[in-house]
Structure 1
Amino acid sequence: MPKSRGRTSGKARTATLIRPLPVSGWAPLPARVAGYFCIVAILPLSAQLSQWNCGSMTHHASSFRNLLPRLIAAQACYYMIVSIDLTLTGLVGMSLAPTPMLMTLPLSLIVVVGTACSFIAGHAAARFGYRPVMMAGSLTAVVGGVLSAVAVASQSFTLFCLGTALTGGYRAVGGFLRFVAAEFAPPARRERALALVMYGGIIAAALGPFAAVAASKAAEQPFVGSCVLIAILGVGALCLASSMPPSTGGGMEINDPAIKIRDRAGNPRFQQAVLVLTGSGLVMTLVMATGPLANHHVGHSPALGATMIQWHLIGMFAPSALSALFLKKFGVFKTNVAGGFIMASGCALGIITHSGWAMTVTLALVGVGWNILFVAGSALLLQSYPQGRGAKLQGFTDGATAAISAAGSFAAAGLLQLLGWGGVNALALTTTAAMLAVLAWLTIRTGSRRSPVHPSSPVAAGTGDQAAVDRSEGAAAGMSS
């Protein structure tokens, strides 16, 4: 009598599809070298922090020099949560979904909820301040991680969708950390503070693989420990958020009106910031999402795919301090051009060949280019509003960037199948060139290439606060010199 071919149980499917990472030999030598490079890259951070000899910058007598390490630690928690969640969501969704059509629903919920909450978080921060918004977002990560762990253990697809949606809500507030640093930094050092917070990403890249290995072995059922780790990191982020200053920074109280989006829609620097952040985010996401798929399609090993992503993450975060120094010396326009050129170089290499080393270098260069453009684009955004009054603009820009990046991520598989690895890189190269062309046109048209912001400019117009205007003018002039 033939054996029964009944449906495989959920636990059996999970055990088959999701296996713990091996403790030893989990990555090839290049990836280990990448991990060591991550650790070495954060060593200059202590030297950078020692130069912040400013006085008290908060309403609760905590100096900015003490605030900055907490922001960096919170940024590290954020990127570790994002990386762990994105790594396991697709696999768990594949094993728990009642139908193949719903396999990507948990991952889609992370993106959709995170994008929607970005717009909401900006308005909430403008009304209540950063601290309660960051605490609420961290709490959603804690609850989302716990629910996801229970869902994996109980094989509940509905509960897992709820958990990933809550974790997606946390993604909306993590992007505010760099702006919190800029709001409480001395006006002349806002852009530098913003770049230093990005060091949290390189810390996450260095510790993430080791944490993933330990979490995968912490529970008998695969990835339950990884979900619990998300909750633990959420608790850490919650504690760090609770220690942040209550106001919006810049010496202004919460009841000072935030700049409205419609009041800055025609502002040249705001337009350039949105262009650079959304354009670079689209190219980076498109290349990053197609990289592992292309690696598999051309026959390279899964270990090489992991190495590619790790070097990509290094490129995304390691150059942060250098990006800030380049920004200070050459200004935002030349910094954006340099970042775009590096990103375009990586895409051009991807067009020429799909060898293993070339694909790794492509992702690394695209990551470096994104870092430079991200820092310079964020600096442009800072220059478009007085210090302490940009929460709504920040939320809108992060939301728009997340939405466009999500579109690139969703389209990645189809574009790879239609165009191939070389075609995807050609599309990314064209997008980068178009972004730089529009940026140059906006810069020449407005004459803002080297000129500081004056009180009569759109940056200062309508603020109703001369002190805020002076701070905005001083920061922009420092960047343009």
Structure 2
Amino acid sequence: MLGVVLSIIGSLLCVYALYANQFVVLLAGHVLLGIATAAYTFMRFAASDSASERWKPMAISLSMSMGLLSAFLGPSLVGVVKDFGGVIPFIGSYLALAGVAVVGALPVLGLRLPPASKKGQQATGFAESLKVLRRPAVWSATACAGLSFGFMTMQMSPTPLAMEYCGFSVGQSSDVIRWHLVAMFGPSFVTGYIIRRIGTNTVMVLGLLMLSGAGVVGAFSSELWAFYVALILLGIGWNFGFIGASSRLVEVVAPQDAPLAQGANDAVVALVSAVCALSTGILFGTVGWAWLSLSALPLLLVLALWLVVSGVRGRQFGYA
């Protein structure tokens, strides 16, 4: 609910900034929107906390599936409200953002979650809790989530520009991005079930391999079909990698350490995504689309190999 309030205030600050031509106020509004977004990303962990052990992966997966609804409704909503501010652009978009936050808060108002468990928290200080981040299962899950999000951002962002350089139209690049978004969020309806069947480790490895495949296809062909295949693989790979890593984190961290581990996980994901987004333009302008697509391949394959080896050792010695 705090995230919702900050989202509304931030959106209205941005509206005021556009009317008053105040760039600093616009930045302040986006700071609040950023904090709200950070709160929203924890929805998947809140869904997991409210579910039984058997249904935790399904809860995370289904909460992420709503991104598919956003992918279809977002552009349509922008088309409806884009002219609301008259000669001042984006007024309608920010007002719509505040309205969406209000609508999203309505089901939360009726939500009744069990109180947070305090068991064991008194005996575990902050410095002691930091040790959980050094556990292989925790940092490998965090690395998988960060790499999945980072490489998805790195390859998806310059796709329209790369397609324009290859002679394709804006309509064709828009369609490729549309199917990429479907591939990102569509599998969420079944990802949790797949995790229950084959395990989080296997799903994470499959996600990393699909991301690797997206890079290879993007690097070695500039045909229209290759852009479709690469971006669809990129979307499914992100889905498996990110949801698998989130589920893995829930599995291996005790409830009293979960807030710290989850916060550190999302901080790493945000940092890696920001670095990848900032470096995309530099890589695209210097080494080109093909090498940009292959830039994360060694890291993706090394992490996949580590997860395979650690999974085999865990089954042999009876630990995760």
Same fold (TM over 0.5): yes
The match for 1:107 is: none
The match for 2:220 is: 352
Change (3 A) 1:388 1:194: farther
Of 130, 154, 160, the match for 2:20: 154
Instruction: Check whether the contact 2:205–2:307 (CA below 8 A) recurs between aligned residues.
Output: no
Kindly indicate whether residue 284 of structure 2 is the aligned counterpart of residue 416 of structure 1: yes
Q: CA deviation at 1:452?
A: 6.2
Q: CA deviation at 1:322?
A: 2.2
Kindly indicate whether residue 110 of structure 2 is the aligned counterpart of residue 267 of structure 1: no
State the SS of the aligned residue for 1:448: helix
The match for 2:91 is: 224
Amino acid at match of 2:34: G
Change (3 A) 1:192 1:207: same
The count of residues paired between Structure 1 and Structure 2 equals 316
Of 162, 165, 175, the match for 1:307: 175
User: Structure 2 stretches of 5 or more lacking a match?
Assistant: none
State the SS of the aligned residue for 1:218: coil
Q: CA deviation at 1:370?
A: 0.7
Report the TM-score, using the length of structure 1 for normalisation.
Answer: 0.61
Of 432, 439, 444, the match for 2:300: 432
**2-side partners of 1:379 and 1:409: how far apart?**
25
**2-side partners of 1:328 and 1:246: how far apart?**
24
Instruction: Check whether the contact 1:348–1:425 (CA below 8 A) recurs between aligned residues.
Output: yes
The match for 2:267 is: 399
**1-side partners of 2:243 and 2:97: how far apart?**
27
Change (3 A) 1:347 1:195: same
Amino acid at match of 1:394: Q
Change (3 A) 1:291 1:330: same
Which structure 2 residues correspond to residues 41-56 of structure 1 after superposition, within 5 A?
Answer: none
Which structure 2 residues correspond to residues 54-453 of structure 1 after superposition, within 5 A?
Answer: 135-221=1-87, 222-245=89-112, 247=114, 252=117, 256=121, 261-387=129-255, 390-444=258-312, 447-449=313-315
**1-side partners of 2:31 and 2:108: how far apart?**
21
Instruction: Check whether the contact 1:352–1:422 (CA below 8 A) recurs between aligned residues.
Output: yes
Q: CA deviation at 1:343?
A: 1.8
**1-side partners of 2:296 and 2:164: how far apart?**
20
The match for 1:119 is: none
Higher helix share: 2
Q: Percent identity?
A: 25
Amino acid at match of 2:45: F
State the SS of the aligned residue for 1:311: helix
User: Structure 1 stretches of 5 or more lacking a match?
Assistant: 1-134, 454-475, 477-481
Report the TM-score, using the length of structure 2 for normalisation.
Answer: 0.90
Instruction: Check whether the contact 1:269–1:384 (CA below 8 A) recurs between aligned residues.
Output: yes
